[in-house]
Amino acid sequence: MEKLPLDRARWPFIALLACAAMLATAYAVELLLFFAPCQMCYWQRYVYWGAGALALLSIAINWRGAQPMLMRVMCMLLGVAFLGGAFIAGWHALVEWKVLPPLSGCTVSGTGNITGNLWEQLGRPIAVASCDKAPFHVAGLSMAGWNVIASLALAACSFIAAVRPMPTDTNNEPGQLGAEA
């Protein structure tokens, strides 16, 4: 556990990479597998965009020599952002499992028929992905279900990073000369 990069100085960079990986996965499923995201899927992405921006800000202020308490607060804010993502993803998963009803704007509406005059079709509502239907499952969980797990893990790591002491460099202290040999 001592070797893990879970300290206030390094965690924002790892969190930024995790946000980028989660967003890349979501966009890859959309663009490469042709699964259209629903409204709640977009909400989950917004959390990762926001957490990524917060991680970038944390990296910048740490680079400028932030005090340890400020970095603790930034890691706590990252944890809260990831908890918000877990809440939204859990809500979405419960809608997919039919435990909660879907939102009014999250159901399929309109027609997918694009025949005839295209100009007339532009004014009509079009079909959108429904929040209550998961396009696929991996090991019994939808993407929203896996996002709950990932968001909770990222939140836990953020809170651990916030409370762990900062690493200290002891290589240049008096009496340590030749200790590495």
What three-state secondary structure class fits 135?
A: coil
Q: How many CA atoms lie within 13 A of 146 on its CB side?
A: 13
Phi, psi for 141 (deg, rounded to 5): -115, 145
Q: Which pLDDT value is given to residue 24?
A: 94
Single pTM value for the model: 0.75
**b/e code 161-180 from CB counts within 10 Å (16+ = b):** bbebeeeeeeeeeeeeeeee
- Return the pLDDT at 55: 93
Q: What is the pLDDT of residues 110-122, one digit of tens each?
A: 545 556 666 666 6
Q: What is the mean pLDDT, run by run of 10 residues, along the chain of 181 residues? A: 66 92 90 82 91 92 79 90 94 86 66 60 61 71 87 94 71 53 41
